Amino acid sequence: MKNRDSWIIQKSVVFALLFREIKTRFGEYKLGYLWAIINPVLHISTFILLWSLTGRTAFRDISLPLFLTVSIVPWFCFSDIVSRGMKAVESNKSLFNYHNVKPVDTVISRIILEVLTHLSVFCLIILTLTIIGYNTAIQNLLLFIIAWILLLLFSSGVSLIVGYFANTFKSFEKIVQFVLRLLYFSSAIFYPIDVMPQKARNILLFNPVLQIIELFRASYFESFNLKYVDFIYLIIWSLSLIFIGLMLFYNNRYELIRIK
């Protein structure tokens, strides 16, 4: 009964933090809603322009706007979960005066918000492309759902770990931002992995984010398949990171709640 009560309390705390995050991010700053949409759209538009300058308007008969949407929006979901989760504890230090609020709750609430935000942005962009006249039908809905689940699990694990270390090492945030920039160009977000040489491709495929992007493409487009996706590899990565992240928060929970 005590464990059940603890779970109910934590759930209530997480939802309270979630609504607080929504109010802070979107309530006080009216451009918050627009920026959530404008940011990925700007990147999509930029790469459409760059590819168009080379004479390319499609990949494997897939229009550039749709090809880029299916990869760039999931990337921003991952990137924002990591970036915002990293700052969650520091931004909510004052709330730790309330004993029911745990440091890990602040990270979880931000993860939920980012997933809901980017899923909404994805749907809005797809709806816009559909209205314009693009064929935006999902080829495999189950695979698409699995892609979102794996994205959520992997991003959550990374977010928990960086969320802890960012509060332990003050320069850690700069390291994470540098790594995210590297991943932006090495995760095959704006190009199919097939265009890379075999040796480079074999190295890049160690990147779980790249495999998740390929999974999104395989779920959406008939011309993509699962040959570059290792589900066991992604599951092991995701669950291991979540376990490590939760243990870091649990074992250091008293250290994290100290008000500076």
pLDDT tens sequence across 21-45: 888 777 655 566 677 788 888 888 8
Q: What is the structure's pLDDT at 28?
A: 56
Q: What is the structure's pLDDT at 19?
A: 86
Secondary structure element (H or E) that encloses residue 11, with its range: helix 2-22
Domain with 20 in it: 2-256
Kindly report the number of other CB atoms within 10 A of residue 131's CB atom.
9
**Cβ(120)–Cβ(206) below 8 Å:** no
Q: State mean pLDDT over 94-108.
A: 85
Residue 127 has pLDDT above 90, yes or no: yes
Q: State the pLDDT confidence band at 183, using cuts at 50, 70 and 90.
A: very high
Q: What is the structure's pLDDT at 199?
A: 92
Residue 215 has pLDDT above 50, yes or no: yes
Q: State the pLDDT confidence band at 1, using cuts at 50, 70 and 90.
A: very low
Tens-place pLDDT, residues 51-73: 888 777 677 778 888 999 999 99
Instruction: Please give the model's pTM, rounded to 2 decimal places.
Output: 0.91
Average pLDDT of the chain, as a whole number: 88
**Cβ(218)–Cβ(225) below 8 Å:** yes
5 exposure class (CB count in 10 Å sphere: 0-12, 13-18, 19+):
exposed
Which residues make Cβ contacts (< 8 Å) with residue 144, sequence separation at least 6? 138, 216, 219, 220
The count of domains in the chain is 1
